[in-house]
Amino acid sequence: MAQMIYLDAISALPPRPAVVAAMQPFLTEAWGNPMSPHAAGDRPRAALEQARAEVAALIGADPREIIFTASGSEANSLAIKGLAEVARGRRSRCQIITSAVEHPSVLAGCRALHARGVRTVVLPVDRLGRVDPAEVGANLTNQSCLVSIQAASSEIGTLQRIAEIGAIARKRGVLFHVDAVAAAGRIPFDVSSLPVDAASLSSSQLGGPPGVGALYLRRGVRLEAQIHGGTQERGRRAGLEDVPGIVGMGVAARLAKSELPSLGGRLAPLAQRLTDGLRAALNGWQVTGDPAHRLPGHLSVVIEFVEGEALVMALSRDGVAAAAGVTCRERTAWRASPTLLALGLDQPLAQGAVIFSLWPGNSAEEIARAVQVIARNVDHLRALSPLYAARSRP
């Protein structure tokens, strides 16, 4: 069987060889607890802080502002709950403002806080998935304690106007959290110049190991820990750190920072080739999200008379990896993505969602082969659809 054509970089990137090599010693020889006061803890402790500095450098932060977690989802949950609970202790009411296209870990965190008396305002988006900064400002009240808006959507690729939204929140004295999991390492994201108080990152999005994430927390901002029982991470996240994984995330962050200036230029021709190829081979499909202001190498589409998950499974059998939605969200044949419904798409069309996300390991030859495989499988699935057959009758 030919090697898989991997077009699902937004879900995870393959760990870089330098990442795997850097992790190895901390699995075999330097396995001590970084909290230990003896020599066995020295090297892991030093490696932990080196990785912290490397992750901080990727986003222009101070190393002391980085909290390691077990995933980007945990970082989102820690930010949403930890910041809101501190604010709730200072006032009688607390309100969070977020959007309808956020990652499930953000929206689920808001729902969990609702039971504790924290009100959530979920802002709508336009047909391209954009949050209007003016709407954020219009919904801020003296009870608002947190705004949480993603920098970029892993599902539709749209980039949000983070600088504008953050400036509005800061002027009103409201904390601003950004889910930067899909953005960091793909587009410039520098907290030293952005009005951001907290930002979530994920190792696997950078070419690091899975199961590691980080939360940037601006110095001076208080956070209520959600895991208790230890003083790790300056008391903000208890539990023994995953030293090998964190070391790997640090190396991945350093490499991502060095490659960022050229990444868009490397991916743009491949994404254009994929788009042009699909236009020539298929009818009855459209791009979702903002066609101009989107993640590099990201192409999200909806295809008429095709169920997205069925197409992704068929592509996998033919050696092409793609996605039908956010990997953290349960997908079922009778439920369309809430993000796509928020764009105003009707449910049958929204169920035809497929995401292709490219990485520097892709080649023009792979893209050409992928287009052929996609077109063949779309034709096959449409041939099985009674709705498509009915529309095709003269």
Residues serving a catalytic function are 328
- Give bridge partners of residue 299 from the DSSP assignment: 356
Burial 171-180 (b: 16+ CB within 10 A, else e): eeebbbbbbb
Going from the C-alpha of 62 to that of each of 59, 65, 67, 216, 224, the distances in angstroms are 9, 5, 11, 9, 20
Q: How many CA atoms lie within 13 A of 80 on its CB side?
A: 29
Question: Six-digit token pair at 315?
Answer: 């592509």
Q: Beta-carbon neighbour count of residue 381 at 10 Å?
A: 18
Strand locations in 20-59 (E): none
Q: How far is CA 208 from the centre of its chain?
A: 14
350 token code pair: 């929204």
Kindly provide the b/e burial profile for residues 235-247, where b requires at least 16 CB atoms within 10 angstroms of the residue's own CB: ebbeeebbbbbbb
Integer CA distances (angstroms), 116 to 94, 110, 121, 198, in order: 10, 10, 15, 22
* 49 burial via Cβ count (<10 Å: 0-12, 13-18, 19+): middle
What does the alpha-carbon distance between residue 291 and residue 102 come to, in Å, rounded to a whole number?
19
By C-alpha distance, which of 200, 174, 186 is closest to 106?
Answer: 200
Residues 6+ apart with CB under 8 A from 366: 5
Q: How far is CA 284 from the centre of its chain?
A: 28
Chain position carrying tokens 């949480």: 148
Q: Which residues are CB-contacts of 233 (< 8 A; sequence separation ≥ 6)?
A: 67, 68, 241
